[in-house]
């Protein structure tokens, strides 16, 4: 403790103080054994779980620290806009202005939702976190804290799903995808953790930004596709409206040095790091219809096409001869129907389709 008075005369309960203390320890680094202790504490009671979820919503942790916690607890912890990327001193101001509610879609075929209003509790916890982390006590009173909402959306393997966000925006998630969305009275923000998403921003005075993993922030007004592949490369395509890629991941409000986005232009860059974004002059894939499982390819390698299709497959397509992977093909393919795709590829390349328990095999005659 810092020896400071608790803000507003608020004395935190045991769960709130423990949660804030855990956030402080996370900032300093936890061992595997300590992560196990955190997990045991988190699962001990609903009070512990709720207190830690709210503390994580406002705690100034780095994206790497947040990812480590989520992996250890196998639980998603959204952050309010800007909290995960600002300094500790800047986090105090952010914490003082937010309440919280949580909505989670944990399963691919069933949506669990429900907002848990906790504005006053969040303001109190924000104050607790601020004091424990030594961020000061100059916090806005809880009665002045505007409500905020945070939600996590996920899909399982083979599932493409659509959601309507609290502000009326439309979200479509590709197979094996996860995104955190947070909104308050001033801003709307999303963080894609993995997979691919299409966001159609509802008309609103609040700006909408999105970031892939811990990388660059994108501001947009319209429809945008964003994805992260297995090599942690971000694929960004504005579908309509306006947008710009900010010069770094710090989310400055101005557009100085920002890269304007053109409709249907493909821009790629690493999810983390300072490598400059690159405009792809001649994209191999036209992905405008991906929410329907359809993609148009121009001279794509067979191994790459099969990899894309296996994102949805219950039984994967297997190339029995690795040399077949360099064959190229063009056309529109329905990636969500692996059996028909295998049959079509067999016709194009004069291959044999053999069905096994481990997948659909393509082999030379």
pLDDT in tens, 49-84: 888 888 888 788 888 899 899 999 988 888 766 554
Contact 106, 100 (CB under 8 A): no
Q: Is the pLDDT assigned to residue 100 strictly greater than 60?
A: no
> How confident is the model over 257-277, as pLDDT tens digits?
789 999 999 999 988 767 889
Please report which confidence band the pLDDT of residue 127 belongs to, taking 50, 70 and 90 as the band edges: low
Among 142-156, 162-176, 203-217, 315-329, name the one with the lowest average pLDDT: 142-156
Q: Residue 104 belongs to what domain range? A: 1-148
Contact 213, 199 (CB under 8 A): no
**Closest to 96 measured CA to CA, from 66, 50, 52, 131:** 131
Residues 303 and 276 in one domain: no
Which of 282, 301, 319 is the last residue before a domain boundary?
A: 282
Residues 334 and 230 in one domain: no
Please report which confidence band the pLDDT of residue 320 belongs to, taking 50, 70 and 90 as the band edges: very high
Torsion angle of the four alpha carbons 47, 49, 50, 51, in this order, in degrees rounded to the nearest 10:
80
Residues 161 and 271 in one domain: yes
**Pick the residue with more confidence: 179 or 82?**
179
How many domains does the chain contain in total? 3
Among 101-105, 176-180, 210-214, name the one with the lowest average pLDDT: 101-105
Residues 167 and 118 in one domain: no
Please report which confidence band the pLDDT of residue 44 belongs to, taking 50, 70 and 90 as the band edges: confident
Residues 272 and 290 in one domain: no
For range 126-137, the mean pLDDT: 51
Residues 200 and 294 in one domain: no
Neighbouring residues of 281: CB distance < 8 A, sequence distance ≥ 6:
none
pLDDT for 123 equals: 53
pLDDT for 117 equals: 41
Residues 124 and 1 in one domain: yes
For range 148-172, the mean pLDDT: 91
pLDDT for 193 equals: 86
Q: Tokens 């007004």, residue?
A: 221
Residues 69 and 141 in one domain: yes
CATH number at residue 181: 2.60.120.1440
Q: Tokens 């919280």, residue?
A: 100
- Arithmetic mean of pLDDT over the chain: 79
Residues 33 and 133 in one domain: yes
Residues 99 and 5 in one domain: yes
Q: How far apart are CA 123 and CA 220, in angstroms?
A: 30
Which of 282, 303, 334 is the last residue before a domain boundary?
A: 282
pLDDT for 57 equals: 80
Residues 185 and 199 in one domain: yes
């Amino acid at each position: 403790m810092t020896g400071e008075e608790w803000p507003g005369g608020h004395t935190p309960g045991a769960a709130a103080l423990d949660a804030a203390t855990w956030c402080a320890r996370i900032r300093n680094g936890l061992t595997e054994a300590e992560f196990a202790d955190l997990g045991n504490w988190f699962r001990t009671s609903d009070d512990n779980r709720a207190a830690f979820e709210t503390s994580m919503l406002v705690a100034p942790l780095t994206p790497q620290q947040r990812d480590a916690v989520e992996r250890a607890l196998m639980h998603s912890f959204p952050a309010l806009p800007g909290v995960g990327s600002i300094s500790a001193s800047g986090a105090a101001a952010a914490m003082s202005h937010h309440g919280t509610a949580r909505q989670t879609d944990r399963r691919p075929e069933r949506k669990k939702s429900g907002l848990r209003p906790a504005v006053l509790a969040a303001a109190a916890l924000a104050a607790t976190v601020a004091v424990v982390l030594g961020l000061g006590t100059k916090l806005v009173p809880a009665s002045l804290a505007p409500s905020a909402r945070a939600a996590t959306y996920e899909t399982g393997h083979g599932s493409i799903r659509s959601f309507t966000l609290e502000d009326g925006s439309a979200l479509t998630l590709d197979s094996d995808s996860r995104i955190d969305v947070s909104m308050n009275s001033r801003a709307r923000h999303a963080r894609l953790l993995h997979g691919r998403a299409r966001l159609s921003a509802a008309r609103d005075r609040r700006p909408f930004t999105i970031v892939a993993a811990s990388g660059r922030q994108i501001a947009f007004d319209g429809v945008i596709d964003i994805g992260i592949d297995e090599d942690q490369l971000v694929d960004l395509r504005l579908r309509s409206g306006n947008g710009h890629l900010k010069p770094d991941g710090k989310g400055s409000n101005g557009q100085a040095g920002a890269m304007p986005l053109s409709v249907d232009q493909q821009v790629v860059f690493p999810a983390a790091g300072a490598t400059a974004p690159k405009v792809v002059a001649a994209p191999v894939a036209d992905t405008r219809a991906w929410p329907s499982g359809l993609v148009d390819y121009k001279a794509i390698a067979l191994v790459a096409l099969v990899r894309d299709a296996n994102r949805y497959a219950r039984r994967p397509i297997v190339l029995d001869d690795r040399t077949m992977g360099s064959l190229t093909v063009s056309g529109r393919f329905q990636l969500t129907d692996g059996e028909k795709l295998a049959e079509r590829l067999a016709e194009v390349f004069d291959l044999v389709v053999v069905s096994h328990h481990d997948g659909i095999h393509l082999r030379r005659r």
